[in-house]
């Protein structure tokens, strides 16, 4: 996608509208994600990160020749763009020092236009580069891997173990999909139990200043970061990821793992991941209404725990047995206990899809949310 064509502007306008729409949906107390309690609360900061990242990319197309997106697959920018942001962050302050501030550059542009009766493209590119470097200098971008954070700690009354609710983010490099993970982890290590548990409940004398960066138990925090990073790929099923985390730790027991996969994204005139959808969306007049955003929420939970076995010659730690819903072929294929597929679409685009007579087949298996202004109508 060339930066000097209208395609880039149309793409960023539609994506900006889609992320704003997703934020409206997440704030709706009738939305299925809101009903999940913490799920909506967890995802919103990642939407913030995506919005900041797309704003940075939009500035970047003002001074580069090409900006590539995964047109035929996810509809999101290719992974190289994510890596470039990370690389540029390392030198952002140094590069900013060499570029005048925006007000100075704007004054130079005005002077250039008056003197030369021409448009100063080089100065405009400098402004775009400065705005880009300022944006990536902030911490809230969607990186290839966003470190875990503990947002809740409690005690399982059945076994007296502390458990943590932890979330982290991954931008999958192969499928070019942003993903948010959320897990409930029980901790059977003796040291943390002595500190956190009192009379079978959370020790009121211990103040835990949530959220906490990383896993709450510092003994396993770094190893947990490494484990979830190496097990973050979209190609791994949630059941496989949970089993791998379980296998990495003797005293950490994943009881539930959720994965929020954002995408694919469809944008008229830019993405070609579905000719049928693109053709219909191209009939919508405004770019900010000519898009369709889908996502999948996957969940796997432990149905039982195989107790630890300690023998004279060998021993095995406790291991969780995860439930796969084999009565649902799609759930079995995804390696999950349950899943939900959602689609968010502007009212104008939904009308075009409905008028085409293909809405029913396009949205088969999806819960559809139609957004108009700051209102969302779900399950249409």
**Residue 370 and residue 303: Cα distance in Å, rounded?**
36
Write down the pLDDT at residue 40: 77
- Higher-scoring residue by pLDDT: 147, 6: 147
The crossing angle, in degrees rounded to 10, of helices 238-248 and 221-230 is 150
pTM: 0.92
Cα–Cα–Cα angle for 216, 169, 240, nearest 5°? 85
At 173-231, the pLDDT tens digits run 999 999 999 999 999 999 999 999 998 899 999 999 999 999 999 999 999 999 999 99
pLDDT at res. 1: 44
Burial of residue 239, with CB atoms counted within 10 A of its CB: 0-12 exposed, 13-18 middle, 19 or more buried? buried
Q: What is the pLDDT of residues 134-164, one digit of tens each?
A: 989 887 899 999 999 999 999 999 999 999 9
Q: Model confidence over 296-315: pLDDT tens digits?
A: 999 999 999 988 777 666 67
Range among 17-31, 69-83, 228-242, 344-358 rated most confident? 228-242
| The pLDDT of residue 168 is above 60 | yes
Angstrom distances, CA of residue 363 to CA of 161, 269, 274, 343: 43, 20, 13, 8
pLDDT of residue 4: 41
Chain-centroid distance, C-alpha 371 = 20
Overall average pLDDT of the 246-264 stretch? 96
CA distance 311 to 330: 40
* pLDDT of res. 2: 38
pLDDT of res. 248 = 97
Task: Identify the band that residue 117 occupies on the pLDDT scale cut at 50, 70 and 90.
Answer: confident
pLDDT tens sequence across 13-69: 999 999 999 998 888 766 655 555 567 789 999 999 999 999 999 999 988 878 899
> According to the model, what pLDDT value does residue 339 have?
96
């Amino acid at each position: 996608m060339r930066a000097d064509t209208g395609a880039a502007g149309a793409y960023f306008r539609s994506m900006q509208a889609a992320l704003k729409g997703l934020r409206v949906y997440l704030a709706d107390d009738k939305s299925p994600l809101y009903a999940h309690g913490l799920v909506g609360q967890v995802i919103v900061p990642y939407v913030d990160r995506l919005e900041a990242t797309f704003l940075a990319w939009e500035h970047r197309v003002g001074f580069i020749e090409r900006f590539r997106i995964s047109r035929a697959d996810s509809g999101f920018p290719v992974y190289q763009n994510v890596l470039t942001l990370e690389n540029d962050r390392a030198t952002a302050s140094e590069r900013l020092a060499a570029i005048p501030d925006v007000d100075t550059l704007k004054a130079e542009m005005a002077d250039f236009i008056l003197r030369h009766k021409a448009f100063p493209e080089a100065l405009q590119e400098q402004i775009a580069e400065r705005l880009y470097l300022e944006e990536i200098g902030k911490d809230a971008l969607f990186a290839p891997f966003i470190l875990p954070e503990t947002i809740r700690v409690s005690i399982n009354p059945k076994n007296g173990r502390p458990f943590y609710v932890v979330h982290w983010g991954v931008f999958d490099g192969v499928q070019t999909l942003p993903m948010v993970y959320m897990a409930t982890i029980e901790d059977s290590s003796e040291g943390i139990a002595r500190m956190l548990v009192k009379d079978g409940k959370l020790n009121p004398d211990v103040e835990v200043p949530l959220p906490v960066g990383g896993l709450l138990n510092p003994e396993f925090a770094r190893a947990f970061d490494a484990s979830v990073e190496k097990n973050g790929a979209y190609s791994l099923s949630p059941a496989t990821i949970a089993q791998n985390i379980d296998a990495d730790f003797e005293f950490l027991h994943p009881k539930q793992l959720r994965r929020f996969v954002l995408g694919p994204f469809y944008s008229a005139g830019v993405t070609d991941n579905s000719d049928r959808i693109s053709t219909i969306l191209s009939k919508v007049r405004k770019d900010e209404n000519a898009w369709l955003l889908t996502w999948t929420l996957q969940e796997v939970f432990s149905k039982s725990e195989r107790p630890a076995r300690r023998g004279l010659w060998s021993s095995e730690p406790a291991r969780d047995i995860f439930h796969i819903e084999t009565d649902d072929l799609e759930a079995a294929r995804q390696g999950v206990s349950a899943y939900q597929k959602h689609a968010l679409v502007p009212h104008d685009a939904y009308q075009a899809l409905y008028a085409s007579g293909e809405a029913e087949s396009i949205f088969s298996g999806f819960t559809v949310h139609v957004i108009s202004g700051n209102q969302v109508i779900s399950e249409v």
